[in-house]
Amino acid sequence: MSTSHDIKYKCPYCGRDFTITVYDSVNAQSDPDLRERSLSGDLFRHSCPHCKTDFMIQNPLVYSDPEKKFLIWLSNEEATDALASLAKPLDQQGYTLRRCGTIQEFTEKIQIFEDGVSDIVAELAKYDSFIEFIDSRNGNPADVTSVEYQKTEDGVMKINVRTDDKGLSFLIPTAMLEEEIRAQSDRYEAENTSFPRINSDWLISLFTESDGQA
Protein backbone atom coordinates (compact mmCIF):
# COMPACT_ATOMS: atom_id res chain seq x y z
CA MET A 1 0.00 0.00 0.00
CA SER A 2 0.99 3.63 -0.46
CA THR A 3 1.69 5.98 2.45
CA SER A 4 1.51 9.74 2.87
CA HIS A 5 1.56 12.45 5.50
CA ASP A 6 0.56 16.11 5.82
CA ILE A 7 3.06 18.93 6.28
CA LYS A 8 2.83 22.66 6.87
CA TYR A 9 4.22 24.57 3.91
CA LYS A 10 4.91 28.24 3.19
CA CYS A 11 4.03 29.32 -0.34
CA PRO A 12 7.23 30.48 -2.10
CA TYR A 13 5.18 33.12 -3.96
CA CYS A 14 2.81 34.75 -1.46
CA GLY A 15 4.48 33.59 1.77
CA ARG A 16 1.29 32.29 3.40
CA ASP A 17 1.12 28.94 5.18
CA PHE A 18 -1.06 26.00 4.27
CA THR A 19 -1.13 22.20 4.57
CA ILE A 20 -0.15 19.82 1.78
CA THR A 21 -0.11 16.05 1.48
CA VAL A 22 3.13 14.42 0.36
CA TYR A 23 3.65 10.73 -0.37
CA ASP A 24 6.36 8.71 1.30
CA SER A 25 5.73 5.61 -0.81
CA VAL A 26 3.69 4.60 -3.83
CA ASN A 27 2.74 1.04 -4.73
CA ALA A 28 1.93 1.08 -8.45
CA GLN A 29 0.09 -2.22 -8.33
CA SER A 30 -2.28 -1.42 -5.47
CA ASP A 31 -2.76 2.27 -6.35
CA PRO A 32 -2.89 2.67 -10.15
CA ASP A 33 -4.14 6.26 -9.81
CA LEU A 34 -0.97 7.19 -7.92
CA ARG A 35 1.06 5.35 -10.55
CA GLU A 36 -0.48 7.66 -13.18
CA ARG A 37 0.27 10.74 -11.09
CA SER A 38 3.84 9.58 -10.53
CA LEU A 39 4.42 8.94 -14.24
CA SER A 40 3.07 12.37 -15.20
CA GLY A 41 4.82 14.15 -12.32
CA ASP A 42 1.50 15.44 -10.99
CA LEU A 43 2.17 13.72 -7.64
CA PHE A 44 4.67 16.50 -6.90
CA ARG A 45 2.56 19.38 -8.21
CA HIS A 46 0.79 21.51 -5.61
CA SER A 47 -1.29 24.67 -5.65
CA CYS A 48 -1.40 27.44 -3.08
CA PRO A 49 -5.00 27.87 -1.86
CA HIS A 50 -4.34 31.58 -1.26
CA CYS A 51 -2.65 32.91 -4.42
CA LYS A 52 -3.60 29.89 -6.61
CA THR A 53 -0.03 29.51 -7.90
CA ASP A 54 1.06 26.02 -8.97
CA PHE A 55 4.53 24.72 -8.14
CA MET A 56 6.46 21.48 -7.76
CA ILE A 57 7.78 20.03 -4.50
CA GLN A 58 10.24 17.16 -4.73
CA ASN A 59 10.03 15.08 -1.59
CA PRO A 60 11.75 11.76 -0.83
CA LEU A 61 9.65 8.90 -2.19
CA VAL A 62 9.87 5.14 -2.54
CA TYR A 63 8.08 3.93 -5.69
CA SER A 64 7.57 0.20 -6.11
CA ASP A 65 6.03 -1.93 -8.83
CA PRO A 66 5.68 -5.51 -7.53
CA GLU A 67 4.33 -6.76 -10.86
CA LYS A 68 7.24 -5.49 -12.97
CA LYS A 69 9.70 -5.90 -10.08
CA PHE A 70 11.40 -2.56 -9.73
CA LEU A 71 11.80 -0.06 -6.92
CA ILE A 72 12.90 3.55 -7.30
CA TRP A 73 14.12 5.76 -4.47
CA LEU A 74 13.62 9.43 -5.32
CA SER A 75 16.09 11.41 -3.25
CA ASN A 76 19.19 13.58 -3.49
CA GLU A 77 20.62 11.61 -0.57
CA GLU A 78 21.95 8.08 -0.44
CA ALA A 79 19.49 5.35 0.57
CA THR A 80 18.57 5.35 4.25
CA ASP A 81 19.55 2.43 6.50
CA ALA A 82 15.93 1.32 6.61
CA LEU A 83 15.71 1.26 2.83
CA ALA A 84 19.12 -0.35 2.45
CA SER A 85 17.99 -3.20 4.69
CA LEU A 86 15.33 -4.05 2.10
CA ALA A 87 17.83 -4.19 -0.76
CA LYS A 88 19.15 -7.73 -0.38
CA PRO A 89 15.77 -9.54 -0.13
CA LEU A 90 14.37 -7.46 -3.01
CA ASP A 91 17.47 -8.18 -5.08
CA GLN A 92 17.02 -11.89 -4.40
CA GLN A 93 13.42 -11.60 -5.62
CA GLY A 94 14.66 -10.17 -8.93
CA TYR A 95 13.85 -6.49 -8.34
CA THR A 96 15.77 -3.73 -10.10
CA LEU A 97 16.71 -1.10 -7.51
CA ARG A 98 17.52 2.46 -8.51
CA ARG A 99 17.90 5.97 -7.06
CA CYS A 100 16.82 9.09 -8.94
CA GLY A 101 17.87 12.59 -7.99
CA THR A 102 15.27 14.55 -9.96
CA ILE A 103 11.60 14.23 -10.84
CA GLN A 104 12.50 14.11 -14.54
CA GLU A 105 14.82 11.14 -13.97
CA PHE A 106 12.16 9.52 -11.81
CA THR A 107 9.32 9.73 -14.34
CA GLU A 108 11.58 8.63 -17.19
CA LYS A 109 12.84 5.66 -15.16
CA ILE A 110 9.29 4.47 -14.53
CA GLN A 111 8.55 4.58 -18.27
CA ILE A 112 11.74 2.69 -19.12
CA PHE A 113 11.04 -0.11 -16.67
CA GLU A 114 7.36 -0.31 -17.61
CA ASP A 115 8.49 -0.82 -21.20
CA GLY A 116 10.54 -3.77 -19.97
CA VAL A 117 13.94 -2.48 -21.08
CA SER A 118 17.22 -1.84 -19.29
CA ASP A 119 17.93 1.70 -18.15
CA ILE A 120 21.59 1.09 -19.00
CA VAL A 121 20.56 0.37 -22.59
CA ALA A 122 18.40 3.51 -22.51
CA GLU A 123 21.32 5.65 -21.33
CA LEU A 124 23.54 4.23 -24.08
CA ALA A 125 20.82 5.00 -26.64
CA LYS A 126 20.50 8.55 -25.32
CA TYR A 127 24.27 9.01 -25.49
CA ASP A 128 24.44 7.65 -29.06
CA SER A 129 21.57 9.95 -30.08
CA PHE A 130 23.35 12.95 -28.61
CA ILE A 131 26.55 12.09 -30.49
CA GLU A 132 24.57 11.54 -33.71
CA PHE A 133 22.94 14.95 -33.28
CA ILE A 134 26.32 16.63 -32.83
CA ASP A 135 28.23 14.73 -35.53
CA SER A 136 25.69 14.26 -38.29
CA ARG A 137 23.38 17.22 -37.87
CA ASN A 138 26.07 19.85 -37.28
CA GLY A 139 24.58 20.43 -33.88
CA ASN A 140 26.08 22.48 -31.09
CA PRO A 141 26.28 20.64 -27.74
CA ALA A 142 25.46 23.87 -25.92
CA ASP A 143 22.13 24.05 -27.76
CA VAL A 144 20.89 20.71 -26.42
CA THR A 145 18.47 21.27 -23.57
CA SER A 146 17.57 17.63 -22.94
CA VAL A 147 17.93 14.09 -24.26
CA GLU A 148 14.84 12.08 -23.38
CA TYR A 149 13.71 8.48 -23.58
CA GLN A 150 10.26 8.18 -25.15
CA LYS A 151 9.41 4.52 -25.80
CA THR A 152 10.58 1.11 -27.02
CA GLU A 153 8.66 -0.97 -29.52
CA ASP A 154 9.73 -4.13 -31.36
CA GLY A 155 13.33 -3.77 -30.24
CA VAL A 156 13.65 -0.14 -31.35
CA MET A 157 14.08 2.67 -28.83
CA LYS A 158 12.91 6.20 -29.60
CA ILE A 159 15.02 9.02 -28.17
CA ASN A 160 14.25 12.73 -28.43
CA VAL A 161 17.06 15.28 -28.53
CA ARG A 162 15.63 18.72 -27.76
CA THR A 163 16.93 22.23 -28.27
CA ASP A 164 15.27 25.56 -27.55
CA ASP A 165 13.74 25.85 -31.01
CA LYS A 166 13.34 22.29 -32.22
CA GLY A 167 13.58 18.62 -31.42
CA LEU A 168 14.92 15.62 -33.29
CA SER A 169 13.92 11.99 -32.79
CA PHE A 170 16.29 9.06 -33.19
CA LEU A 171 15.36 5.40 -33.54
CA ILE A 172 17.96 3.14 -31.93
CA PRO A 173 17.86 -0.68 -32.30
CA THR A 174 18.50 -2.14 -28.85
CA ALA A 175 20.07 -5.46 -29.91
CA MET A 176 23.47 -3.92 -30.70
CA LEU A 177 23.54 -2.01 -27.42
CA GLU A 178 22.56 -5.11 -25.45
CA GLU A 179 25.40 -7.01 -27.13
CA GLU A 180 27.86 -4.24 -26.23
CA ILE A 181 26.78 -4.43 -22.59
CA ARG A 182 27.17 -8.21 -22.55
CA ALA A 183 30.61 -8.00 -24.18
CA GLN A 184 31.79 -5.41 -21.65
CA SER A 185 29.82 -6.56 -18.61
CA ASP A 186 32.51 -5.43 -16.17
CA ARG A 187 32.35 -1.86 -17.47
CA TYR A 188 28.57 -1.62 -17.31
CA GLU A 189 28.08 -3.46 -14.03
CA ALA A 190 25.87 -1.65 -11.52
CA GLU A 191 25.60 -2.88 -7.93
CA ASN A 192 21.85 -3.35 -7.64
CA THR A 193 21.72 -3.43 -3.83
CA SER A 194 23.36 0.00 -3.54
CA PHE A 195 20.42 1.69 -5.34
CA PRO A 196 22.69 3.04 -8.11
CA ARG A 197 21.81 6.26 -9.89
CA ILE A 198 21.95 5.26 -13.56
CA ASN A 199 21.89 8.44 -15.63
CA SER A 200 23.99 10.33 -18.19
CA ASP A 201 26.59 11.32 -15.57
CA TRP A 202 27.02 7.68 -14.59
CA LEU A 203 27.48 6.62 -18.21
CA ILE A 204 29.98 9.37 -18.98
CA SER A 205 31.96 8.41 -15.87
CA LEU A 206 32.42 4.91 -17.28
CA PHE A 207 34.14 6.27 -20.38
CA THR A 208 36.25 8.85 -18.54
CA GLU A 209 37.44 6.19 -16.10
CA SER A 210 38.43 3.87 -18.95
CA ASP A 211 40.35 6.76 -20.54
CA GLY A 212 42.22 7.39 -17.31
CA GLN A 213 40.46 10.67 -16.59
CA ALA A 214 38.80 9.69 -13.33
For 54-69, the pLDDT digits (tens) are 999 999 999 999 999 9
pLDDT for 102 equals 97
Q: Report whether 139 contacts 129 (CB < 8 A).
A: no
Question: Residues 93, 95, 101, CA angle at the centre, nearest 5°?
Answer: 150
For residues 110 and 126, membership in a common domain is answered with no
Question: Residues 162, 165, 170, CA angle at the centre, nearest 5°?
Answer: 30
Tell me which residue of 51, 54, 53, 61 sits closest to 2, measured CA to CA.
61
| Spatial distance between the Cα atoms of 130 and 105, rounded to a whole number of angstroms | 17
Domain boundary (114, 148, 170) is at 114
Based on the structure, what is the number of domains in the chain? 2
pLDDT of 214 above 50? no
| Spatial distance between the Cα atoms of 198 and 188, rounded to a whole number of angstroms | 10
For residues 133 and 95, membership in a common domain is answered with no
Identify the DSSP state of 95. -
Domain boundary (91, 114, 137) is at 114
Q: Report whether 151 contacts 110 (CB < 8 A).
A: no
Domain boundary (50, 79, 114) is at 114
For residues 19 and 110, membership in a common domain is answered with yes
For residues 38 and 96, membership in a common domain is answered with yes
Residue 139 backbone phi and psi in degrees, to 5: -85, 160
pTM, two decimals, is 0.91
Residue 180, domain extent: 119-210
Q: State pLDDT tens for residues 70-89.
A: 999 999 988 778 888 889 99
Strand 54-56 with 144-153, pairing: unpaired
For residues 133 and 197, membership in a common domain is answered with yes
